[in-house]
Amino acid sequence: MSTRLANRRILLGVTGGIAAYKSAELIRRLRDHGAEVRVVMTPAACEFITPLTLQALSGNPVHLDLLDPAAEAGMGHIELARWADAVLVAPASADFMARLAQGMADDLLTTLCLATAARIALAPAMNQGMWADPATAANVATLRERGIHLFGPAAGAQACGDIGPGRMLEPDQLVTETAALFQSRLLDGVRVTITAGPTREALDPVRYLSNHSSGKMGFALAAAAADAGAITTLIAGPVTLCTPERVQRIDVESAQQMYDAAMQQLASTDIFIAAAAVADYRPAQVAGQKIKKQSETLTIELVRNPDIVASVAAARPRPFTVGFAAETDALLDHARDKLERKRLDMLIANDVSVPGIGFNSDDNAVTVLWAQGELALAQCSKRQLATELVALVARHYRLQLA
Ligand code: CTP
């Protein structure tokens, strides 16, 4: 299965033609390959298949009109044009291709095609006579010259009884052709789970134990993994960050909840990155009522939380497992010890005693360790560092598979 479509945003244009019934299947196939699909239909397309069907299959509202105030208030046409990684028009009618070749913007789909910087591909579907007509041939030549891709048409028996070229390619062929529009990325289709942020360990209904983790590093890693084509899940403790695009987020509070979520993800995880600052201990008892001040001192008994990353690394089969180590002294010694003790494939170590990096800051500098080596990455933004780390993790993950 091609994984180049993972996380790709496909704007599917459907124009009026009997082949529009195949668009329903096409949406399913594109989504099976990990693509996100939004559908734009021309009025003629709605005569052949209902917007409701395509809305249900794409999981997104179908866009119909250029001048629809409600749609513009949601995702406006320019936003939609920017959203797309590729525009695929299937079926593309002779009329649509003629309007596109003329540079017209007389409906939503032609307007989007003009406005977008994304690659455009057309899957023509029409009667063989219309396809053979010199006017269509001239339009096809014009569109090709502008860099627009044409998928098909295939030849064969047509709905109108004719035999010849003009049939739309089958959904599977269109998926293969669409995938080929894209370059492969480092983590195409690889399933990555990342923990991020702090955990909160309840003492009573209003108090908890926690730490200063902002979640920025884990969120940056999730964004970088999704950019690299990974199907990315973020298990997030309580943080105030927005979910990166194309990332599925599971919110948790306590270490136990984070552990449970990680275990549930295990069977569908190829790479696990533990960036969360998990509380090592939790109160042995959680008071049912708010604890009142009664004496000068208060002793709270703490019990160990499960070690999430070590549990993931101990699972069989196990994902490629990456941990973090925040240290204040003897960074590399402690880090290598942690790598071995927790049986990790890689460990990302940072010295949190250095001002300006680590907890809560926007920058970080780390040393990455693995069994046979290590690499120091200089101080830079967490976003940039995340891209470098994802590339490094991807390289080692692939080496392990080889
Ligand atoms: N970690 C985890 N579950 C825990 C504690 C830590 O998954 N209950 C993960 C963190 O997400 C991080 C790595 O383990 O990736 C290292 O965490 P750290 O707290 O530095 O290590 P500890 O095992 O607690 O070691 P020490 O207390 O000796 O520093």
CA distance 74 to 60: 12
266 phi/psi in degrees, rounded to 5: -50, -45
Name, in order, each residue with C-beta under 8 angstroms of 128's C-beta and a sequence gap of 6 or more: 155, 158, 162, 163, 164, 165, 166
CA distance 54 to 38: 9
Are 332 and 366 a contacting pair, CB within 8 Å? no
Q: What is the pLDDT of residue 161?
A: 85
Active site residue 160: yes
Residue 216 is assigned to a structural domain of this protein: yes
Q: Name beta bridge partners: 357.
A: 363
- Which residue type does 373 have? G
108 and 235 together in one domain: no
Q: Is the pLDDT of residue 1 over 70?
A: no
Give the pLDDT band of residue 359 (cuts 50, 70, 90). Answer: low
> Span 306-321, mean pLDDT?
97
Q: What is the DSSP letter of 10?
A: E
Q: CB atoms < 10 A from the CB of 266, how many?
A: 15
168 and 195 together in one domain: no
Residue 177, SS3?
Answer: helix
Q: Name beta bridge partners: 91.
A: none
Residue 26 or residue 356, greater confidence: 26
Q: What is the DSSP letter of 277?
A: B
Q: Ligand 1 center to residue 325 CA distance, Å?
A: 7
37 and 63 together in one domain: yes
Residue 1 is assigned to a structural domain of this protein: no
215 and 330 together in one domain: yes
Q: Is the pLDDT of residue 28 over 90?
A: yes
Using N-to-C axis directions, what is the helix angle for 216-227 and 382-401, rounded to 10°?
Answer: 60
Are 199 and 50 a contacting pair, CB within 8 Å? no
CATH number of the domain bearing residue 94: 3.40.50.1950
Q: Is the CB of 323 inside a 6 Å radius of any atom of ligand 1?
A: yes
Q: Pick the catalytic residue from 46, 160, 242, 380.
A: 160
CA distance 186 to 392: 10
* Residue 311 Cα: closest atom of ligand 1: 7
Residue 102 is assigned to a structural domain of this protein: yes
pTM for the predicted model, two decimal places: 0.85
165 and 199 together in one domain: no
Q: Mean pLDDT for the chain?
A: 94
Residue 242 is assigned to a structural domain of this protein: yes
Instruction: Match 């990155």 to its residue by tokens.
Output: 273
Q: Is the CB of 313 inside a 6 Å radius of any atom of ligand 1?
A: no
Helices (runs of H) and strands (runs of E) counted in the chain = 14, 19
* Residue 323 Cα: closest atom of ligand 1: 15
38 and 169 together in one domain: yes
Residue 114, SS3?
Answer: helix
130 and 270 together in one domain: no
Q: Is the pLDDT of residue 304 over 90?
A: yes
pLDDT (tens digit per residue) in 69-125: 777 777 788 999 999 999 999 999 999 999 999 999 999 999 999 999 999 999 999
Number of domains in the chain: 2
Q: Is the CB of 148 inside a 6 Å radius of any atom of ligand 1?
A: no
* Residue 306 Cα: closest atom of ligand 1: 8
Q: CB atoms < 10 A from the CB of 322, how many?
A: 29
Q: Is the CB of 217 inside a 6 Å radius of any atom of ligand 1?
A: no
Residue 4 is assigned to a structural domain of this protein: no
User: Which of 147, 179, 211 represents a domain boundary (last residue)?
Assistant: 179
User: Which of 155, 179, 203 represents a domain boundary (last residue)?
Assistant: 179
154 and 199 together in one domain: no
CA distance 210 to 138: 68
Q: Ligand 1 center to residue 338 CA distance, Å?
A: 8
Q: Is the CB of 309 inside a 6 Å radius of any atom of ligand 1?
A: yes
Q: What is the pLDDT of residue 2?
A: 63
- Give me the count of residues in the chain: 402
**Which of 280, 332, 350 has most ligand 1 atoms within 8 Å of CB, for mutation?**
280
208 and 325 together in one domain: yes
CA distance 334 to 164: 71
13 and 43 together in one domain: yes
Q: Is the CB of 177 inside a 6 Å radius of any atom of ligand 1?
A: no
Nearest CA to ligand 1 atom 17: 325
Q: Name beta bridge partners: 150.
A: 122
Q: Ligand 1 center to residue 366 CA distance, Å?
A: 16
Percent of the chain with pLDDT over 70: 99
Q: Is the CB of 325 inside a 6 Å radius of any atom of ligand 1?
A: yes
pLDDT (tens digit per residue) in 205-250: 999 999 999 999 999 999 999 999 999 999 999 999 999 999 999 9
Q: Ligand 1 center to residue 274 CA distance, Å?
A: 9
Q: Name beta bridge partners: 14.
A: 41
Q: Ligand 1 center to residue 279 CA distance, Å?
A: 8
Task: Name the token pair of 48.
Answer: 């052949």
> Span 157-170, mean pLDDT?
88
**Which of 212, 221, 324 has most ligand 1 atoms within 8 Å of CB, for mutation?**
324
- Which residue type does 322 have? V
Are 10 and 174 a contacting pair, CB within 8 Å? no
Give the pLDDT band of residue 281 (cuts 50, 70, 90). Answer: very high
CB burial string 341-370: b at 16+ within 10 A, e below: ebebbbbbbbbbeeeebbbebebbbbbbbb
pLDDT (tens digit per residue) in 114-156: 999 999 999 999 999 999 999 999 999 999 999 999 999 998 8
Q: Is the CB of 351 inside a 6 Å radius of any atom of ligand 1?
A: no
CATH number of the domain bearing residue 327: 3.40.50.10300
Nearest CA to ligand 1 atom 24: 280
Q: Is the CB of 326 inside a 6 Å radius of any atom of ligand 1?
A: yes
272 and 250 together in one domain: yes
Residue 258 is assigned to a structural domain of this protein: yes
Are 120 and 89 a contacting pair, CB within 8 Å? yes
Q: Describe the strand order of the beta sheet including 320-327 as a list of residue ranges.
A: 247-251, 231-236, 191-196, 271-274, 320-327, 346-351, 363-370, 373-381
User: Which of 134, 155, 179 represents a domain boundary (last residue)?
Assistant: 179
Residue 116 is assigned to a structural domain of this protein: yes
Residue 184 is assigned to a structural domain of this protein: no
Q: Is the pLDDT of residue 358 over 70?
A: no
> Span 364-386, mean pLDDT?
92
Provide the domain limits for residue 317.
191-286+293-401
- Diameter of the chain measured on Cα atoms: 94
Percent of the chain with pLDDT over 90: 84
Q: What is the pLDDT of residue 370?
A: 96
243 and 313 together in one domain: yes
